Amino acid sequence: MFDKKMLKEIREHEKQWEENCYRPLTERKPERKPKFKNLSDIEIKPVYLPTDIEDVDYLKDIGFPGEYPFLRGIHATMYRGRIWTMRQFAGFGTAEETNKRYKYLLAHGETGLSVAFDYPTLYGYDTDHPFARGEFGKCGVAVSSLKDMEILFDGIPLDKITTSMTINGPAAIIWAMYIANAENQGIDKKLIGGTIQNDILKEYIAQKSFIFPPESSMRLIVDTFEYGFKYVPKWNTISISGYHIREAGSTAVQELAFTLLDGLEYVKAAMARGLEIDQFAPRLSFFFNAHNDFFEEIAKYRAARRIWARELKKLGAKKPRSMYMRFHTQTAGCTLTAQQPEINIVRVTIQALAAVLGGTQSLHTNSMDEALALPSEKAVRIALRTQQIIAEESGVTNTVDPLGGSYYIEWLTDKMEEEAYKYFDRVEKLGGVIPAIEKGFFQKEIAEAAYRYQKEIDEEKRIIVGVNRYQIEEDLEIPLLKMDEKGEERQINRLKKLRKERDNAKVQRNLERLRKAAEGDENLMPYILDCVHSYATLGETCQVLREVFGEYKEPIIY
């Protein structure tokens, strides 16, 4: 990027600057910390210069937006052509309550829906299952059958809005309910768009809402890939998620490396089935966290795009779209504080800005009250307005990748990539992603990173405003969401009525056909759809697969 003579002059001047300007000042007034490090423990220099990126080949390593290696964005126009999708994550209590929240968000300018499910649903249990007691609707909406799905999206045109659903273990079944609901509305499934998270590897690593063993889970995921590109071509059949890895306590580098490793594992599994990479890869999507270190997050997104494009090309991808890393971002829930909750608005704004400057395709901004409860209408409106202000008032959407070319950003992007590849090498030596999961490698790395971070906070080496510095005594005046206490009772009564009024003989026939298909090697999506269409419940359908596949028990690792 610079000729050798210029680089030599810059190096010489850097020495003079350090000796004459920087060091004398630090000797008179020592710096606040012995070392400045980001959240991935990467030491940061006081200033970055062309010499820090002298080995960068601009056209090969950075390039232009919309061109390989997509470092500067997957689209040439980015937000000049279309603003990111504003997709607020929402779900609580009954389908009726959540449907009301969706309509509220859409009325206030949200441009895509994102569904949070409660824990019984995440684990494939109906609301009336004994394991569901006490968990109904607490962290998301309860969906036990197609009937619930119909209520959840009542009055919402599924061919006009895209929907993201955070569901993993029973993802194929919940997706089938969404497809069946669209078909019952007379909408061709080729016209519906959205995303199922469907990322089971990160469940074993971080979030732990797994059901089946890895081999069977991977089979279901590849089934959705195959069914998706054939019959639901606008749907993203997976959202490979670093978000929950980060929320579990990982560093940004670990989030980057572990997420991409999971993604490559899915690609290899699909190719082993015989699917062509250019058939399914264009519908793979990602989901990242936006944490507190502003520049580290931006570098993480840029590095992720370049690594993914490079690795997909190595695996044989020919179409540019197959090499696109399209990703959704959510601001970091783990950074929200119950203390002085209003200041979470500031945290979320900075995190959201990092996601936008990093080139996200869609974004959720957390609400200020989420460390205390599910978000109130006022809080979620402020969170949505935060995105709208960034989009409409800040000016950051005027040019593509506005931080591209920054010596610091380009150096940090390269450094994040370098550190991520070190993890690639370590996992390869362990035999790959699934053997590394079984050995507890990812889990141990995340636990150690979480411990270091918390220790830094406890020792006040890392400041969290309102928690370990700038505390105040306060009386909370934030209105908190109250759920309908009768919701669980109504949900259970709806299930009883459904089981009484449906064609139970047809349900049993479809469940038995699913069982036989699961015992073989057919794609299970058509059989799951038949079960769902006949109003077999989530729990009934999942139970058949539990009986065939078994349930995964996490090994105890010392």
Q: Which long-range contacts (CB under 8 A, 24 or more apart) does 377-384 make?
A: 377/101, 377/104, 378/479, 379/478, 380/88, 380/90, 380/101, 380/105, 381/108, 382/345, 383/88, 383/345, 383/348, 384/86, 384/88, 384/105, 384/108, 384/109, 384/110
Whether pLDDT at 477 is above 80: no
Residue 51 counted as domain residue? no
| pLDDT at 174 (0 to 100) | 98
Residue 500 counted as domain residue? yes
User: What is the percent of the chain where pLDDT is above 90?
Assistant: 94
Whether pLDDT at 312 is above 80: yes
Closest CA to 302 of 174, 420, 131, 191: 420
Whether pLDDT at 80 is above 80: yes
| pLDDT at 1 (0 to 100) | 63
* Residues spanned by the domain of 322: 78-365+425-470+477-558
Residue 69 counted as domain residue? no
**DSSP letter at 479?**
P
The mean pLDDT value for 53-60 works out to 92
The CA-CA-CA angle for residues 407, 408, 411, to 5°, reads: 85
The mean pLDDT value for 354-364 works out to 98
Closest CA to 175 of 534, 508, 532: 532
- Please, which pLDDT band fits residue 555 given cuts at 50, 70 and 90? confident
Residues 478/369, Cβ–Cβ less than 8 Å:
yes
What is the rounded distance in angstroms from the CA atom of residue 419 to the CA atom of residue 37? Answer: 15
Number of folded domains that form the chain: 1
* CB-based burial label for 398 (10 Å; 0-12, 13-18, 19+): exposed
| pLDDT at 69 (0 to 100) | 97
Whether pLDDT at 481 is above 90: no
Residues 528/173, Cβ–Cβ less than 8 Å:
yes
The mean pLDDT value for 127-151 works out to 95
Instruction: State the average pLDDT for the chain.
Output: 96
Q: Which residues contact 120 (CB under 8 A, 6 or more apart)?
A: 126, 127, 129, 131, 132, 135, 136, 142
| pLDDT at 250 (0 to 100) | 98
| pLDDT at 460 (0 to 100) | 94
Whether pLDDT at 511 is above 80: yes
For the domain that residue 300 is a member of, what is the CATH number? 3.20.20.240
Residue 454 counted as domain residue? yes
Residue 297 counted as domain residue? yes
Which tokens go with 303?
């590095």
Whether pLDDT at 483 is above 80: no
The mean pLDDT value for 415-439 works out to 97
What are the two backbone dihedrals, phi and then psi, of residue 90, each rounded to the nearest 5 degrees? Answer: -150, 145
Whether pLDDT at 47 is above 70: yes
What is the rounded distance in angstroms from the CA atom of residue 222 to the CA atom of residue 198? Answer: 10
| pLDDT at 480 (0 to 100) | 76
Alpha-carbon dihedral angle through residues 310, 315, 320, 322, given to the nearest 10 degrees: -110
- Please, which pLDDT band fits residue 198 given cuts at 50, 70 and 90? very high
Residue 481 counted as domain residue? yes
| pLDDT at 556 (0 to 100) | 79
Whether pLDDT at 16 is above 90: yes
CA–CA distance from 346 to each of 79, 179, 311 (Å)? 23, 39, 36
The mean pLDDT value for 322-335 works out to 98
Which tokens go with 356?
């936008």
- 404-413 burial string, b = 16+ CB within 10 Å, else e? bebbbbbbbb
- Please, which pLDDT band fits residue 513 given cuts at 50, 70 and 90? very high
The mean pLDDT value for 432-449 works out to 96
Three-class SS state of 284: strand
| pLDDT at 482 (0 to 100) | 75
The CA-CA-CA angle for residues 54, 56, 62, to 5°, reads: 140
User: What is the percent of the chain where pLDDT is above 70?
Assistant: 100
| pLDDT at 558 (0 to 100) | 62
- Helices and strands in the chain: count of H runs, count of E runs: 22, 10
- Please, which pLDDT band fits residue 475 given cuts at 50, 70 and 90? confident
